[in-house]
Structures are given as structure tokens and as C-alpha cells.
């Protein structure tokens, strides 16, 4: 009986030691994983911050209840966000060979992502990498994106991420009553945020455009437009915005502000006469030409109708250069 009791006590002691070793191993493993993640973030984005909640780490898979982050991208620009219900798979052996290939796939619910001039809310983000491939292929669906307070909804998109750079960007959504497609590439380095791309719109409601630009007290119009705009960002600021959108199905125009009329020698009295004729001006074809001068964006409206052609000029003033 004494031997049995002694053997039982020894068994309990051994079991307790094993439980302690396993628990300590899991704790060390999770702390090590968080340390590796922090070092990886700091290498790419010095002074970046990441907070992980509810980490569950396995040999080749991991999960987290939520991850919140703040990353300095470019001069005085901060991108922040939060994802939930993160699920990833990884190849731990790549950490000793090619750390950039450790991640194999990931999926998370996007709570929010914000940066200079934009805010994404609600959606799903997925990432994947083929065996032996360094670039990470991204896909996203998002409920709503606000770009300089202009809303785009029902977004789907894809891109390739490698060496802190997005390439092959292809985003599609609903914008101002029509559809929008954005293509291009961007640098997300800590030193600078630069991007260039093309914006294609179709079926854009010019009445909604006027309201979005807060011009409703100066003019009103109807008509659907489509075309292409070229956009260039340097260090988070829009430096180039140019292109033309066109209408071929006609519409109507109402001008309340004489100063919008473009043309030499249009005085107040003559302007009032023209404006009176523009209270219900019908046009058959129209163009809106976008251009940028410094921080200001200019829209030139060129319309053709039975009563003749009309040209309007709208200047949207941006903040002064620092």
C-alpha cells in the first residue's frame, strides 16, 4: 500500500510538472510570437504600434480576437485600424530562411481602417501567398469607404503587397449614383506615401456630384456622366487630378451664381440675362474637365444645347501649402 501511495504521489508530481511545463511553454510561445510581431512591425514602420487581444497560437496556425494598430506612413501621416476574428496560417521554418514568406494565408473581419483623407468601415480582408512566392495577394470587400467625406459603397478589390508596396490595385464600388473603378499602385513605406492611379466612372449623377462638392447654392444640374481621371499623390497629398467626364444623353442646368459663367466681358447686367436663360437650360452634350493648380481643383463645365453653348468654371480651394 505504501508503494502504491508513493507511486501515486510521484505520478501526481510528474503530472503537475508536465502541466507547468506545458503552460509555461504556451506562455513563452505566445510572448515570443508577440515579440517577433513587434520586431517585424518596428523594422518596417519604426514607432508603429500593434495591440493583440485573445491570441491563440498553434504550430502552423494562429488566431486572435482583435488586432489594433497605428502605423506611421509617410511624413506626419498615420494609418490606424482594427481587425477582428483573425485567422492565419504560417510556415515557421521560413523564419530562418525568408522571414517575408512566413505568412501563408490570413482572413479577418475589417472593423475600420483610416488614413489621411479616407476611412474604411466594415468588411472582410483576405491575404494569401503561393508556396515559394514572396508577394502577398490581397482581396477585400468593404461596406463603406469615405474619401474626403465623399462616400463609396459596396467595394470589392484586390492588390498585391510586397516590400511595403501595393501594385495591381483594382477597386470597384458604387459612387454618386454610378459605378467607379480605381486602378494603380502605391508605396506604403514609413518614409513616404506616394500613389498614382486611374479613376474610371460610369453613370455618375452630376446632381449628386454638385451636392457632394457643396455647390448646391450656386448651381444645379441633371445628367449622367462617365470618363477617366488621373490621380497622383505625393507624401499623402493629392498633387495631380486631371481628366474629363462626358455626357451624351443630355440634361438640364440651373445657374444661380453669375460668377461661374466663363467668358470675357460678361458683366453683371449681361450675366443676369444669361442666368435668366439658364434657369431651365437644356443641353444635349456635356463635358466636365478636371484640373489642378497647386492645392486648388478646377472644374470646367462645357455644355452644348439648342440654345447654344455654355461654359462654367468652378474652383475648389484646398488648404494652403505649409
- Does residue 286 form part of some domain? yes
pTM of the model: 0.79
Q: Which residues contact 43 (CB under 8 A, 6 or more apart)?
A: none
- The parent domain of residue 281 ranges over 192-322
The confidence score (pLDDT) of residue 99 equals 65
- Does residue 232 form part of some domain? yes
- Does residue 263 form part of some domain? yes
Q: Give percent of the chain above pLDDT 70.
A: 75
- Does residue 22 form part of some domain? no
CA torsion through residues 90, 91, 97, 98, sign: negative
- Does residue 241 form part of some domain? yes
60-69 long-range contacts (CB < 8 A, ≥24 apart) are: 60/89, 60/90, 60/91, 60/92, 61/87, 61/88, 61/89, 61/90, 62/33, 62/86, 62/87, 62/88, 62/89, 62/90, 63/87, 63/88, 66/111, 67/108, 69/41
- Does residue 214 form part of some domain? yes
The residue behind cell 510581431 is: 37
Q: Name the nearest CA neighbour of 161 among 125, 199, 112, 111.
A: 125
- Does residue 254 form part of some domain? yes
Indicate the number of domains in the chain: 1
State the first-to-last Cα distance of the chain, in angstroms, to the nearest integer. 87
Query: Which grid cell sits at 94?
Result: 521560413
Count of C-beta atoms within a 10 Å radius of residue 142: 21
pLDDT (mean) for 128-147: 84
pLDDT, tens digit (0-9, with 9 covering 90-100), for 203-237: 999 999 999 888 888 888 999 999 999 999 887 77
User: Residue 80 carries which DSSP code?
Assistant: E
Q: Which residues contact 238 (CB under 8 A, 6 or more apart)?
A: 231, 232, 292
pLDDT, tens digit (0-9, with 9 covering 90-100), for 78-114: 889 999 998 988 877 766 666 667 778 899 998 988 8
- Does residue 75 form part of some domain? no
Would you place residue 29 in the very low, low, confident or very high pLDDT band (cuts 50, 70, 90)?
A: low
Amino acid at each position: 500500500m505504501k508503494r502504491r501511495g508513493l507511486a501515486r504521489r510521484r505520478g501526481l508530481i510528474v503530472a503537475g510538472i508536465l502541466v507547468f511545463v506545458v503552460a509555461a511553454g504556451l506562455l513563452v510561445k505566445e510572448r515570443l510570437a508577440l515579440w517577433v510581431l513587434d520586431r517585424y512591425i518596428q523594422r518596417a514602420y519604426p514607432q508603429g504600434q500593434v495591440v493583440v487581444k485573445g491570441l491563440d497560437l498553434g504550430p502552423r496556425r494562429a488566431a486572435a480576437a482583435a488586432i489594433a494598430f497605428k502605423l506611421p506612413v509617410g511624413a506626419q501621416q498615420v494609418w490606424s485600424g482594427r481587425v477582428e476574428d483573425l485567422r492565419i496560417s504560417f510556415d515557421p521554418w521560413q523564419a530562418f530562411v525568408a522571414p517575408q514568406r512566413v505568412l501563408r494565408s490570413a482572413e479577418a473581419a475589417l472593423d475600420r481602417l483610416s488614413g489621411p483623407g479616407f476611412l474604411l468601415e466594415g468588411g472582410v480582408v483576405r491575404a494569401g501567398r503561393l508556396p515559394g512566392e514572396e508577394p502577398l495577394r490581397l482581396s477585400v470587400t468593404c461596406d463603406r469607404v469615405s474619401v474626403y467625406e465623399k462616400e463609396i459603397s459596396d467595394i470589392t478589390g484586390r492588390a498585391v503587397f510586397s516590400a511595403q508596396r501595393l501594385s495591381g490595385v483594382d477597386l470597384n464600388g458604387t459612387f454618386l449614383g454610378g459605378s467607379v473603378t480605381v486602378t494603380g499602385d502605391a508605396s506604403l513605406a514609413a518614409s513616404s506615401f506616394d500613389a498614382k492611379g486611374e479613376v474610371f466612372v460610369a453613370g455618375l449623377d452630376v446632381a449628386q456630384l454638385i451636392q457632394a462638392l457643396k455647390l448646391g447654392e450656386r448651381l444645379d444640374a441633371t445628367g449622367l456622366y462617365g470618363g477617366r481621371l488621373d490621380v497622383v499623390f505625393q507624401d499623402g497629398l493629392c498633387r495631380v487630378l486631371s481628366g474629363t467626364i462626358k455626357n451624351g444623353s443630355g440634361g438640364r442646368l440651373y445657374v444661380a451664381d453669375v460668377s461661374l459663367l466663363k467668358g470675357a466681358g460678361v458683366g453683371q447686367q449681361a450675366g443676369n440675362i444669361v442666368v435668366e436663360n439658364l434657369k431651365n437650360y437644356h443641353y444635349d452634350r456635356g463635358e466636365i474637365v478636371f484640373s489642378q493648380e497647386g492645392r486648388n481643383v478646377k472644374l470646367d463645365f462645357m455644355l452644348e444645347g439648342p440654345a447654344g453653348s455654355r461654359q462654367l468654371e468652378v474652383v475648389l480651394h484646398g488648404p494652403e501649402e505649409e
